[in-house]
C-alpha cells in the first residue's frame, strides 16, 4: 500500500494517550439506525463495529470501533459538532479506565454499606 508523503508523516506522528480506535458518540437522534451511522462514520475508514444504544438510559449514544486508530482520530476531529437531523453530535474517545473506575467505585460503596451493616449488627447499635 503506497501512502502520500503527508500521510506517512501523519502515521509516524505520536498520538495523545487518550486516542484509541473506539469512539463514544452522544447527542444522536433517537431514531438513527446502524446503517445511517455506517454512512456517516464509514467515510473516514473501515469500521469494525457500531453499537447504537436502544435502552432508555443509552438512547442517543453509540460506540463506533474503527479498524485503524488514525481513521478513528480523523473521524473524531471531523465529526465532533457535525449536524445530524438537527442535532449536533459529540464524538469522544472511549475511556475504558473511566468506565471501569465508575463500576469499581460502585462496588466499593456496596462493600462499605455491607461492612457498616455488619458492624452495626455486631455492636448492637443501629
Q: What tens digit of pLDDT does each residue of 79-104 get?
A: 999 999 999 999 999 887 655 555 56
pLDDT of residue 1: 46
Q: Which three cell numbers stand for residue 33?
A: 439506525
Task: Report residue 106's pLDDT band, with 50, 70 and 90 as the boundaries.
Answer: confident
Q: How far apart are CA 110 and CA 83, in angstroms?
A: 41
Looking at residue 67, what is its pLDDT? 95
State the Cα–Cα distance between residues 61 and 59, nearest whole angstrom: 5
In this prediction the pTM is 0.67
pLDDT above 90 as % of the chain: 56
pLDDT of 39 above 70: yes
Counting Cα atoms < 13 Å in the Cβ hemisphere of 73 gives 13
Taking only the tens place, the pLDDT of each residue in 64-78 is 999 999 999 999 999
Residues β-bridged to residue 50 = 64
Whole-number Å distance between alpha carbons of 123 and 109 = 21
Amino acid at each position: 500500500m503506497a501512502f502520500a508523503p503527508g500521510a506517512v508523516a501523519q502515521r509516524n506522528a505520536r498520538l495523545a494517550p487518550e486516542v484509541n480506535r473506539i469512539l463514544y458518540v452522544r447527542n444522536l437522534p433517537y431514531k438513527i439506525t446502524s446503517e445511517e451511522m455506517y454512512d456517516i462514520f464509514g467515510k473516514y475508514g473501515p469500521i469494525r463495529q457500531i453499537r447504537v444504544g436502544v435502552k432508555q438510559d443509552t438512547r442517543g449514544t453509540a460506540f463506533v470501533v474503527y479498524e485503524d486508530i488514525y481513521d478513528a482520530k480523523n473521524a473524531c476531529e471531523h465529526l465532533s459538532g457535525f449536524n445530524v437531523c438537527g442535532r449536533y453530535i459529540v464524538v469522544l474517545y472511549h475511556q475504558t479506565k473511566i468506565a471501569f473506575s465508575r463500576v469499581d467505585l460502585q462496588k466499593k460503596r456496596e462493600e462499605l454499606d455491607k461492612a457498616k451493616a455488619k458492624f452495626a449488627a455486631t455492636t448492637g447499635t443501629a
